[in-house]
Amino acid sequence: MADDYCEISEDDIKAARQIEEALENESLTSAAGKIQEYLKKISDVQLNIAITGESGSGKSTFINVLRGLGDEEEFSAPTGVVETTQKATPYQHPKHQNVKLWDLPGIGTTNFKPETYLQQVGFDCYDFFIIVSSDRFRVNDVNLAKKIQEMKKSFYFVRSKIDSNIDAEKKRKKNFNQDETLQNIRQNCVEGLRDHGQGFPQVFLISSFELPLYDFPNLVETMEKELPDHKRRVLLLSIPNMSLKINQRKKENLQANIWRSAFVSACVAVIPIPGLSFSVDITILIREIRMYYQAFGLDNESLKSLADRTNVPVEELKAILKSPLNKEISQDMVIKMLTKTTGATLMLVEYLLSTIPVFGSTAACGISYGTTYYMLNNCLNELAEDAQNVLMKALKVDE
């Protein structure tokens, strides 16, 4: 588990206290209600990302790839069109309804003034801003960044269409050196920003056509680290699984969150109704495993999208998958997996224990926690490994 994760937030502690109090002073139904409330709150966390920059800089294309979409799919943002709208347009993530990417009108191409721009686009709704340029950044970009800073929000400078620069340099220079070219572009952007009074700018070089390359994985890591805990998870789950680094961050984040599900299953284990804890544990396991599967992009659509982007046939990617979870995540499947592990035995013991008043409940609690934790950890490792192998194949990385 990564050291920089501290997934137990103030909210978690507050919720745990409320549940504990409900268990001590009120009824079990009331405690179960509190658990439901708490889980709903976690899954309702909204993430709003604002993308701004001049018309033609590649905002809409970037918004589409962040949503795991191509340019011409049903819900894609239109690309290659001159912007005429003067207001922010939201684009929902197709698989994570709580994530919205906002296409903001470019500051230099509209009637907006930097002083009023943020008010006009409703700055308060956004968690952070991405300022995109396919060229040098302009004075307007820097003024906007300053205003965003004054509003105590984060922003990131993204220099887009790096693939075009690389291609052009390759054609132009005999002894082309990619690192050198990237270094020059970076230097150029940083100097431009400094000239306009931006102190220590960090610029992320990105190609929406070749997302795994260049600085995209670093951008994700930086955004993620600067977000509060509960939002960090939402970002990581929704970001396309396009690099080994992102795959690893996803795994670490999901691992750091397993305790939550185990905790719910432990709370339910104290309720002495035959089979209840078992069926709740199965429900939790299925829900969480489905979420892992989506987060790692192992579903058909995500594999197809990865195949298209990397020019590797999707059948070759699918052939690498080992975990049986990739074929089916159903109740039967999970029960089958459970019976193969010591987990099943533990669950049975747990049920027997929960029928013994007082002493039994506490032991059942611990067993249920352990079983759920153990199972989720196993499934997570399996799926993360499959996802990693798929990525290595797609990105042609040697072991």
77-81: long-range pairs with CB below 8 Å, 24+: 77/103
Cα separation, 19 vs 13, in Å, equals: 10
Task: List all residues 6 or more positions away from 293 whose beta carbon is below 8 Å from its beta carbon.
Answer: 299, 325, 326, 329, 383
Please report how close the Cβ of residue 103 comes to ligand GDP at its closest, in angstroms: 7
Please report how close the Cβ of residue 69 comes to ligand GDP at its closest, in angstroms: 12
Contact with ligand GDP (CB under 6 A) among 80, 199, 274, 313: 80
SS3 call for 320:
coil
Helices (H), 228-275: 229-238, 244-269
Please report how close the Cβ of residue 52 comes to ligand GDP at its closest, in angstroms: 9
Task: List all residues 6 or more positions away from 309 whose beta carbon is below 8 Å from its beta carbon.
Answer: 209, 210, 211, 242, 394
Q: Which residue is nearest to Mg ion (CB)?
A: 60
Give whichever of 135 and 163 is closer to ligand GDP, judged by the CB atom. 163
Contact with ligand GDP (CB under 6 A) among 18, 55, 218, 283: 55
Q: Which does 372 bind (CB under 5 to 8 A by kind): ligand GDP, Mg ion, none?
A: none
Strands, E assignment, the chain: 47-53, 89-92, 99-103, 128-133, 154-159, 203-205
Q: Is 56 in the site for ligand GDP (CB under 6 A)?
A: yes
Contact with ligand GDP (CB under 6 A) among 5, 209, 259, 374: 209
Residue span binding ligand GDP (CB under 6 A) among the ranges 27-35, 157-165, 195-203, 349-357: 157-165
- Tell which residue, 294, 328, 320, 302, has the closest CA to residue 388: 320
Please report how close the Cβ of residue 163 comes to ligand GDP at its closest, in angstroms: 5
| Tokens linked to 29 | 């139904």
Binding mask 14-53 for ligand GDP (x = CB under 6 A): ---------------------------------------x
Residue whose entry in the numeric block shows the structure tokens 């429900």: 283
Q: Which does 207 bind (CB under 5 to 8 A by kind): Mg ion, ligand GDP, none?
A: ligand GDP
Q: Is 161 in the site for ligand GDP (CB under 6 A)?
A: yes
SS3 call for 215:
coil
Cα separation, 69 vs 301, in Å, equals: 9
User: How many other CB atoms are there within 10 angstroms of residue 354's CB atom?
Assistant: 25
Q: Is 208 in the site for ligand GDP (CB under 6 A)?
A: yes
Binding mask 57-76 for ligand GDP (x = CB under 6 A): xxxxx---------------
Q: Which residues form the interface with ligand GDP (CB under 6 A)?
A: 53, 55-61, 79-80, 83, 160-161, 163-164, 207-209
